[in-house]
Chain A
């Protein structure tokens, strides 16, 4: 028993750490775009300041999105987006942490429709969401893509109706992420 305590437990602990690193995928490149269709003008923005991580054992997944990373066609829109709607001074990041609900054979190449449930945090509001997407596995790499619709009122983003008829109540968000095996930085 003493042997077990002395060698087995620390060994197990080390082993779990080691597998942990091996089963983690991290985004190599990720992109989020959003599109809002409205009577006066359509608004779209693209963000490449997106980071994601994925654990293929626990199926946990996380995203960090820099709000300032959203680039608009018009600078004034970008300023409004940051200053008035998302208040990026106060809330510089949006995050998602959740779990992929489907069981996936990460060792087998193919395209898997997946859904993930978790907490989307944005503009100081946490909301539990379930979103669908597709995972494509190719060797040691994976590609995740999909789209979701966000009601801006869910995140306490208020737009005075009289003044801002050019912004829709819901926005369509598209995301795509390329994952590669995680290598700890030296």
Chain B
């Protein structure tokens, strides 16, 4: 009875609170109601896992979007260290151009890219194809991206050892696994296979390769990038020739329509078909080289 009396007295207060609370929470409720009502977020592909087709030497998941043309100019200077030929006289490799690649990459669809390039060192013409088999999604239902890459190179070398035209060809295929762990950090692991139609004595035509790298975005426009590439086998060949794994590190800076990559690597060439098997410079012997890429995107 006492409690009923209490209730009776408090009815206006209870009503008041009911009304107050409903008006107080109305705005939040409306937003929540809308949040519930709004269609579930679409399955969106994660953007900008990496900023270019390669980290430094290692392929990424990135392709050029549909009807976009990416003109890429990649310059690899000479070795910096004295032991590998870097001197004050050639400004530590700055005067040398170990390799230059000029390429055009075109997006056939948002997931399929083709490209054509010329590289100086092995006088290679390159035709490439890259396909995003699986894209990581923002809702993490697909936690990784899987990308397929393949190219063919044709060397225009004037070399007495090349007896047949077919000797000028090499083929490279790769499967690339990528994951953007956070807006700041992306990781890349890839397995590759290279076939060369023509190899030197004791060398192997078919080699397997494993590589990986990451991107760490430390400001909205600048990232630290690094990668590593190891090629298996070729024991007989390695007895006579020093060949090394390839490591690279650098900084990527992005402006409106350009990405500048400033990098250091011991790679002897720019294309996989070359550096995977022909890198005779090592970091420990001063074989690192300065390298940069300028990329300009055109939209059709």
Contacts and interface: CB of A to CB of B under 8 A. Distances in A.
Q: Do the two chains belong together in a single complex?
A: yes
Interface of A: 1-2, 4-5, 9, 13, 16, 24, 26, 40, 49, 51-53, 55, 58, 60-64, 66, 68, 73-76, 79-80, 82-85, 87-90, 92, 95, 97-99, 118, 158, 160, 163-164, 166-167, 182, 185
A79 B31 contact: no
18 contacts: A2-B4, A24-B30, A24-B33, A53-B33, A58-B26, A62-B31, A62-B34, A64-B31, A64-B34, A73-B299, A76-B65, A76-B257, A76-B299, A83-B47, A83-B48, A84-B254, A97-B31, A118-B27
Contact of A164 (B18, B39, B41, B256): B256
Question: Which range holds the interface residue count of chain B?
Answer: 35 or more
Nearest to B257: A76
B22 A76 contact: no
B240 interface: no
Given A26-B37, A58-B23, A97-B30, A75 B183 contact: no
Contacts of B144: none
B157 interface: no
A60 B39 CA distance: 21
A127 to B, nearest CB: 16
CB-CB nearest 8 A-B residue pairs: A75-B65, A51-B38, A53-B34, A89-B183, A163-B255, A84-B220, A83-B48, A62-B31
Given A5-B7, A160-B221, A164-B255, A66 B34 contact: no
Given A64-B35, A89-B183, A164-B255, A82 B47 contact: yes
Contact of A60 (B18, B30, B68, B254): B30
Interface of A is mostly: mixed
B297 interface: yes
A53 B30 contact: yes
Nearest to B44: A68
Contacts of A83: 47-48, 183, 220
Given A92-B41, A158-B220, A160-B221, A79 B47 contact: yes
Interface in B179-223: 182-183, 220-221
A68 B34 contact: no
Given A5-B7, A68-B44, A89-B138, A51 B27 contact: no
A163 B258 CA distance: 10
A182 B254 CA distance: 46
Nearest to B23: A58
A105 to B, nearest CB: 20
A42 to B, nearest CB: 13
Contacts of A95: 31
Contacts of B47: 79, 82-83, 88-89
Q: Which of B8, B28, B34 has the most CB of A within 10 A?
A: B34
A166 B34 contact: no
Contacts of A9: 14
Contact of A51 (B37, B42, B297): B37
B299 A74 contact: yes
Given A1-B8, A62-B27, A66-B41, A51 B34 contact: yes
